[in-house]
Structure 1
């Protein structure tokens, strides 16, 4: 009996001191080639890798981010001017690869998106984006609307986000069209920071 208790206590001692190690980087110029390994702090139980592609007019930017995360949902979302893909895992240094950019894999689904003036634009979904999303919220005193394509995991995650209301649906163009007059770019930045920091 004493041997079992000793083995159990040794197991607790060795596992309690182990923290997750994840790659860390942020790159706005291609892949994360200079990534370093970081020991995650308490409460951060997942490694994440995220790729965000923003296109405004003829300007395109691609940002790769890797870090520890307290909560992370693998999936992708496309809201017209911004596409985001996130990969999550929970073993040491499992986020070595960049999150995939699935824009080259259209799946035939189409959803409405907003551009700051109107929500009657459409966006073609790709990869695992099998839902249309619509989220509304009040940020800095402004009422904001976000529409686009999303994977099921992203839809499930938005139900706990800081949006006042969010909904996902499965049919083509099922997220409706309507006019908007708010700052759409502000909403995209708020949404991006939510997914990267939560």
Structure 2
């Protein structure tokens, strides 16, 4: 009996002292080679890896990052000017591998996307992006549209976005004036890119 109590107490002490940990890194040159291990804050029960690719004219910027996350879904989002690939897991230090680069292989689906002037542009979806997505960018309060994996669409808020809604048909993420160019997107396109990238890198 005493042995059972001792084993039970040791188990409690061990589990109480164990903190959830994830790899942490920021690779601004497309590599996440210098990663460290961090203890996650309370409520952060998942590890994430992500790869962000931003296209500005003929210039491509790629960033890889790893961190703790309160909530994460594996999949990808494609806004045309920016693609993000997420890999998520929920065991200790499970994000050792980098998230894959977002797919460039078109899957035949097309969705509306937004730029600096309107939301009447279109983007070709790639890889597992089998839904059209509409969402609100939390930091700027602006509409964003594009393609997304079903896993991303299974939640109502994700990462830097809220009010997420998705649909399955081609060009189905159209809503009134947002699809005919009548409503201008006043937020600077380049500023939006930089702000979104900053959020992904700092959270």
Specify which of 163, 166, 169 is matched with residue 167 of structure 2.
169
Partner of residue 88, structure 1: 88
Structure-2 separation of matches of 1:173 and 1:101: 25
Moved more, 75-84 or 120-129: 120-129
For residue 28 of structure 1, report the CA deviation from its aligned partner. Answer: 1.1
Q: 1:196 to 1:130 in 2, by over 3 A?
A: farther
Q: Aligned ranges for residues 39-54 of structure 1 at < 5 Å?
A: 39-54=39-54
Q: How many matched pairs?
A: 196
Name stretches of at least 5 consecutive residues in structure 1 with no aligned partner: none
Structure-2 separation of matches of 1:105 and 1:4: 58
Partner of residue 79, structure 2: 79
Name stretches of at least 5 consecutive residues in structure 2 with no aligned partner: none
Q: Cα deviation per residue 1:95-123 (whole Å; 9 max; x = unaligned)?
A: 11111123233222111111111212111
RMSD of Structure 2 on Structure 1 (CA):
2.6
Q: Aligned ranges for residues 105-184 of structure 1 at < 5 Å?
A: 105-136=105-136, 144-159=142-157, 165-176=163-174, 177-179=179-181, 180-183=184-187, 184=189
TM value normalised by structure 1: 0.84
TM value normalised by structure 2: 0.82
Structure-1 separation of matches of 2:100 and 2:35: 17
Structure-1 separation of matches of 2:72 and 2:202: 9
